[in-house]
Chains A and B, each alone.
Chain A
Amino acid sequence: MNIVVAIKHIPSIADDLPVKGNNVDFDSVDFVLNEFDEQSIEQAVLVKEAVGGTVTVVGVDLIGELDNVLHLALAKGADKAVKITADEPGADSHMQAKWLADAIKGMSADIVFTGVQASNDLDGQIGPMIAAYLDIPYIGGVSSVEVADHTATVNKEFAGGFGAKYAVSLPMVVGVQAASKPPRYAPISKVRQIAQTVTIEKIAPSGDANAGAGLSFKKMAPPVMTGHAEMIGGSYKEVETKIVELLKSKGLV
């Protein structure tokens, strides 16, 4: 099985996002691995462990710091790492999808994993676009994947607590919501050993940047606060009474 994981390096939102001009101030923000990609790497490694094969992790190197993320993925069980050397911190999902798809084309992938979405691109289109470029099916919102005889059995989540099980023939692209197990921990000694011994394959980004979404930023600003939490004061008894009243008034009890 040729398993490929397409990942995104995104600005961290652990802190207030610094804005410069009409975009994120990319020089003063930390970049981190998209949290859904952590899930998709885990799911890929679980599939490999179940049926054998190799896991190749590929991502766009936006700021020259993707190596750390790739070393971590290798320490968690990926076999090969590839980076697309773009050096374009503002490259959007549409642009990245094109570059990733072109890189994946030569990998004869049986299954491609992506995170279902990323906090800097909530349209969640990177998976569907890669699938479209590769001309293979896509299924998103996935919470577990099992592979047997070139068919994948996939659990997909829907709103309202519903789920459905699909059987999909490979190859396909999967948008992972959550891996079937929580992501494993990679000891730093292993990560550092990999960092010293492994070579990461470099690929130049294919074509120009015109594959982008065609959107331009007019203005970027922190969101305006419109509401706030109400603190209920008083004794336990008073607080209790108020909570019950509140729940009743909203028709919840």
Chain B
Amino acid sequence: MPGPIKAKYVEKEHAVVDGVDISGHWNRMFEQRTIFEYTPELIEKIADLPNAESFANCYQCAKCVAVCPVDVVGNYGPRKLYRYAQTGMDLTETPELWLCTTCANCLRVCPKEVNMVKIMPAAREQAILDGKFVPPELQQAFENTAKSGNPLGQPQRKRDAWIQNAGVPIPIIKDLGRPVDVLWYVGSYPSYHPRGIDAASAAARIFTALGIDFAILGKEEKDDADSQRLAGERGLFEMMTEYNIETFNKYEWKELVVTGPHELNAFKNVYPKYGFERPVLHYTTFLTRYLDQLKPLLKHEVNVKVTYHDPCYLGRHNGEYEAPRKLLEAIPGVELVEMARNRENGYCCGGGGGVMWMDSFTQKHTKMRLSEKRAMEAASTGASVLAVACPFEVSRFEDAVKSTGNEHVTVNDILELLDKSMRGEQ
């Protein structure tokens, strides 16, 4: 692959521009670049892909680079990708293809609506279909999802094994044999990851204490595969979507409540294209409805300073910034402090867009993990708890507080903090 062609500078004793001598001591100027040396082919190659049309809209203003979380820890950004493509980079065969977390902060500021959330999955899909390099860890997550129904590669029949130790009975909708108010989609990490199980168990106890009529799918639940779609595996996403929609429609329920923002995004924003249009709520939005009933249950003081990390797929992608904060403020003793980058400008944890499963690959192309940068930001607020609302984040940030020497910061899902206040220290 030819590398990007860089403009050369020249150093002249005397520089005369349009008859005016602008010489200084060792003046340096860039030679006028000849735009005609470049071909638009590699930009067109991307912009011709379905959903990636807006790539060609870029007019190089670079507002995106200023807010790109990857640029903070490396050298990246949509504007740069456009420029590299202009000067010889084929996006489908470069490491840059895999660094974008689809956090959508660039789209928020882009005056030309260049939408990397659509462009990157389309370019990645093309790379996969063309048999180009795909990070091996990502391949593994794809294969696990196709084979086992979850990216962790855990057995499907153990999907509801966690409910044994939740401390409250958790009904499986198939066994219940009647309609329920709430179908709770637990999600893969809350079903299998030890720290995810902590959050899921807390959710079950909270729902039960609030008297909510809920049930889960149990062994019938499979991954939403939204992050796999964003990583370029649309076929896999469609296969999982067909299964999930059929499973959701087998039972009678009024609302679908999800633990994770990525599931929210899939079921609420993408599934309608596949014929599924039902009410879907993230647990934070759902629980704020019960604030009046919840507050008297929060008996124990949790005396900590807490900072909250906005998940990209709850905040920017779905506009929910206040519900998580309302829940945290309802906990007696909690002092909520904000990181400098919050809400619409929240910094990405680095796990979106399938980058969750490319950790050792992206490590080679950035100075530090996005989660490490964010953990340092959290620590700098003086908070002792970093509260999260996305199942990807607990494990990411727990590693990051350790690797950045901030072990004094505890990472908790909001569910765990509510549960702690409800039951006291266990």
Contact = CB atoms under 8 A, between A and B. Distances in A.
Decide whether A and B are members of one complex.
yes
Contact of B155 (A14, A182, A190): A14
B230 to A, nearest CB: 15
A226 interface: no
A188 B239 contact: yes
A30 interface: yes
Nearest to B240: A188
A189 B129 CA distance: 9
Interface stretch (B57-65, B140-148, B400-408): B140-148
A190 B129 contact: yes
Nearest to B125: A187
A28 to B, nearest CB: 7
Contacts of B154: 14-15
Contact of B235 (A182, A184, A192): A192
Given A32-B147, A182-B136, A187 B235 contact: yes
A237 B371 CA distance: 29
B157 interface: yes
Contacts of B129: 187, 189-190
Interface string A101-135: 00000000000000000000000000000000000
B155 A12 contact: yes
A189 B234 contact: yes
B148 A185 contact: no
B128 A187 contact: yes
A9 B226 CA distance: 30
B174 interface: no
Nearest to B140: A185
Nearest to A72: B146
Nearest to A189: B235
Given A187-B233, A192-B235, A14 B153 contact: yes
A184 B155 contact: no
B149 to A, nearest CB: 10
Chain A interface residue count: which class? Answer: 10 to 19
A191 interface: yes
B397 to A, nearest CB: 23
A182 B236 CA distance: 21
A30 B139 contact: no
A188 B129 CA distance: 10
Interface string A24-63: 0000101010000000000000000000000000000000
Contact of B146 (A12, A14, A188): A188
Interface string A84-102: 0000000000000000000
Contacts of B234: 189
Chain B interface residue count: which class? Answer: 20 to 34
B131 interface: yes
Contacts of A15: 154-155, 158
Contact of A185 (B142, B156, B238): B142
B330 interface: no
A185 B134 contact: yes
A192 B129 CA distance: 13
Nearest to A182: B136
B153 A28 contact: no
Contact of B139 (A28, A32, A185): A185
Interface in B119-167: 125, 128-129, 131, 134, 136, 139, 142-143, 146-148, 153-158
Contact of A188 (B155, B158, B236): B236
A190 B158 CA distance: 29
A12, A15, A187, A192: residue with the most chain B Cβ atoms closer than 10 Å: A187
Contacts of A188: 142, 146, 233, 235-236, 238-239
A184 B239 contact: no
Nearest to B235: A189
B147 A184 contact: no
A192 B237 CA distance: 12
A182 B136 CA distance: 9
Nearest to A38: B143
Nearest to B155: A15
A15, A185, A188: residue with the most chain B Cβ atoms closer than 10 Å: A188
Interface string A7-18: 000001011000
B395 to A, nearest CB: 20
A14 B153 CA distance: 8
A157 B115 CA distance: 50
A226 to B, nearest CB: 26
Interface string A193-237: 000000000000000000000000000000000000000000000
A69 to B, nearest CB: 10
A59 B176 CA distance: 41
Contacts of B233: 187-188
Nearest to B152: A14
A32 B153 CA distance: 12
A3 B409 CA distance: 58
Contacts of B125: 187
B338 to A, nearest CB: 35
B407 to A, nearest CB: 13
A14 B143 CA distance: 13
Contacts of B143: 185
A182 B137 CA distance: 12
Nearest to A28: B157
Interface in B210-243: 233-236, 238-239
A83 B208 CA distance: 50
Given A28-B157, A30-B156, A190 B235 contact: yes
Nearest to A191: B235
- Which 9 interchain pairs have the tightest Cβ spacing? A189-B235, A188-B235, A188-B236, A15-B155, A185-B139, A187-B128, A185-B134, A187-B235, A188-B239
Interface of A: 12, 14-15, 28, 30, 32, 182, 184-185, 187-192
Interface of B: 125, 128-129, 131, 134, 136, 139, 142-143, 146-148, 153-158, 233-236, 238-239
Given A30-B157, A185-B134, A188-B238, 14 more contacts: A12-B155, A15-B158, A28-B157, A30-B155, A30-B156, A184-B131, A185-B139, A185-B143, A187-B128, A187-B129, A188-B142, A188-B233, A189-B234, A191-B235
8 contacts: A14-B148, A14-B154, A28-B157, A185-B134, A185-B139, A187-B233, A187-B236, A189-B129
